Chain A
Amino acid sequence: MSDKLPEYDIFAIKYAHRDAKRAQHFIGGDPHDAPMPMDYFVWVIQGAGKTYLVDTGFTAEIAAQRKRQHLRCPIDSLSLLGIDPRKIDDVILTHLHYDHVGTFHKLPHARFHLQEKELHFVTGHHMRYPFFRHSFEVEEVVGIVRLNFKGQMELLQGDAEFAPGITLHTTPGHTPGLQVVRVHTRRGWTVLASDASHYYENMLTNRPFTTAFHIGDMVDSYRKVEKLAASPRHIIPGHDPIVMEQYPAPERSMEGVVIRLDVEPKNVETVRR
């Protein structure tokens, strides 16, 4: 049985929130003037004796600057799951937007796994344009460059096996170097889609999210995510509050904060009528 892939547990920690309207999340807008709030998550993968972190969220300071509702420090929140952040050796960064990389400095000894293309993007010519740079924090970009000089960046050139039962896949569109994380769990291959689809609805109705580098690539990446996951039930969008309804808390005390993603979802509608 030693050749069998490990089955990992996956947790999502909700660390921030913002109120928003539907029209803000679809290129071309939306005919319904209804609320469509956004949740912010980091994800924890545990199994085979290891704990991995996917993305690092943002700090209270950045939340205040950007007028987001900061609920808890993502790194401090790891203690809810009994995880000592100092013992995290490897962090997967899906991309370098402020809400995915912002607390990397709280993990000073970790290795960070990122697509090299993303680093090229954030140090390249597009950053002179506010449209492309507004979701990055220059100090964070500089910090990642420093980490690279220290040898702490694992810069990937395309799809890669991260660990047995965990693979990384390029899903350009939202940013050129965005990657998703495919995890082998008890219920099958589950994909942490991160910002490859902010909401279930972006992917299911093929309406790209408004923060975009290449919208054709973005739609192609929806298809890639679908192929990677065991079923549509195995795809976890990056910012959808429906995810919090869809999955149970590991225990009652964590309700509304932490959910388990390696178990079957509840019967929740993913695209509201």
Chain B
Amino acid sequence: MKRQRVGDVEITKVAEIERMALDPGFLFGNVTHDLIEANRAWLGPSLVEAGSDRLILSFHSFVIRTRHHVILVDTCNGNDKKRPSMMAWDSLNTPYLANLAAAGVRPEDVDFVMCTHLHTDHVGWNTKLVDGRWVPTFPRAKYLFAKTEFDYFDGVHRSNPPQPVNRGSFVDSVLPVVEHGQAVMVDTSHVVEGAVGQGIWLVPAPGHTPGHVQIRVGTRDRLAVMSGDIIHHPIQFAEPTLSNPADVDRAQAVETKLKLMNECADSDLTLLTGHFPDPTAGRVVRHGERFRFRFQDD
């Protein structure tokens, strides 16, 4: 992804896993082979694996640099995390921190970590394993968690569920941040810098999870939206009702998704989703009653 400039703010992508092919049924409970076949041509082999129906996702963070701050958005899966319920993410050993360093960011440079939501593949590098304990990876950072989001998963965690919350990530990647005093609970409309419309701010985007947020960076001339998991894969522009099995409120998730797609199509905002493979950034256009995604030329 090319470096995005919004006024004097820069946004870059740092990848943890550039491409991972996942079974379509894992991503979307209501997907069919025919739907994938019907969209294979416009999506192309970088988004649908050749010779199979598997859909290709990227796992990445965005780094926002302002005049004052370095902000990290979403922290992927992390290393050494036990995720036996999803083998693709189990006990990873990726060079994410080296990738971050190559983008000019050392862990101590990060002022804010923000997670669009608290699923395991968006919080992993919040912590790292040191002497058998999970400690915050970014020693100076304040981690901004939407209070609605934290409270929801904390409630599930306290109810003693048979499966650990978010595949174990709530305990190893969220709670240690709180215990180290680095978590700041914010409103889902929190303004991080400047003001709404001219700065960096959150917009509530419930559905996939109750406290899911968009992170917006804008000036009068340009708007970029980091949308986390509101949209997982570009095939959803052709079929917006495709729903992720993890959606906490499926109807609300579709509503949130359509609202964002319509807003994108009616404007030229730059959409930066949590999982589109390189070149990742792009804009949404209308296609009959549905949509298409136009990636920026890399």
Binding site for B on A (CB under 8 A): 200, 204-207, 231-233, 245-246, 265-273
Contact = CB atoms under 8 A, between A and B. Distances in A.
A206 B26 CA distance: 23
Nearest to B20: A267
A271 B85 contact: yes
Interface of B: 20-23, 26, 82, 84-88, 90-91, 162-163, 245-246
B87 A270 contact: yes
B90 A273 contact: no
B87 to A, nearest CB: 5
Contact of A232 (B20, B22, B87): B87
B22 to A, nearest CB: 6
Contact of A207 (B20, B23, B82, B162): B162
A232 B82 contact: yes
A37 B119 CA distance: 28
Given A231-B90, A232-B90, A271 B22 contact: no
A205 B86 contact: no
Nearest to B86: A269
Does more than half of chain A's interface fall in helix, strand or loop, or is it mixed? loop
A204 B87 contact: no
18 contacts: A200-B84, A205-B162, A205-B163, A206-B162, A232-B90, A232-B91, A245-B23, A265-B87, A266-B23, A267-B22, A267-B23, A267-B86, A267-B87, A268-B23, A268-B87, A270-B84, A270-B87, A272-B245
A273 B90 CA distance: 17
Nearest to B22: A267
Contacts of A233: 87, 90-91
Does more than half of chain B's interface fall in helix, strand or loop, or is it mixed? loop
Given A207-B162, A232-B84, A271-B163, 18 more contacts: A204-B84, A204-B163, A206-B162, A231-B91, A232-B87, A232-B90, A245-B23, A267-B22, A267-B23, A267-B26, A267-B88, A268-B26, A268-B87, A269-B26, A269-B85, A270-B84, A270-B86, A273-B246
B85 A204 contact: yes
A268 B27 CA distance: 11
B94 to A, nearest CB: 15
* Residue in A205, A206, A265, A273 whose Cβ sees the most chain B Cβ within 10 Å: A273
Contacts of B86: 267, 269-270
Contacts of B90: 231-233
A223 to B, nearest CB: 13
Contacts of A266: 23
Q: Which 8 A-B pairs have the closest CB atoms?
A: A267-B88, A232-B84, A271-B85, A205-B162, A233-B87, A205-B163, A269-B86, A273-B245
Nearest to B167: A271
A205 B160 CA distance: 11
A249 B245 CA distance: 27
A22 B105 CA distance: 47
Contacts of B246: 273
Contacts of B88: 267
B160 to A, nearest CB: 12
Contacts of A246: 87
Contacts of A265: 87
Nearest to B91: A231
A24 B163 CA distance: 18
B46 to A, nearest CB: 18
Nearest to B162: A205
A200 B87 CA distance: 11
B261 to A, nearest CB: 25
A265 B246 CA distance: 22
A181 to B, nearest CB: 20
* Residue in A200, A206, A232, A269 whose Cβ sees the most chain B Cβ within 10 Å: A269
B31 to A, nearest CB: 14
A176 B121 CA distance: 40
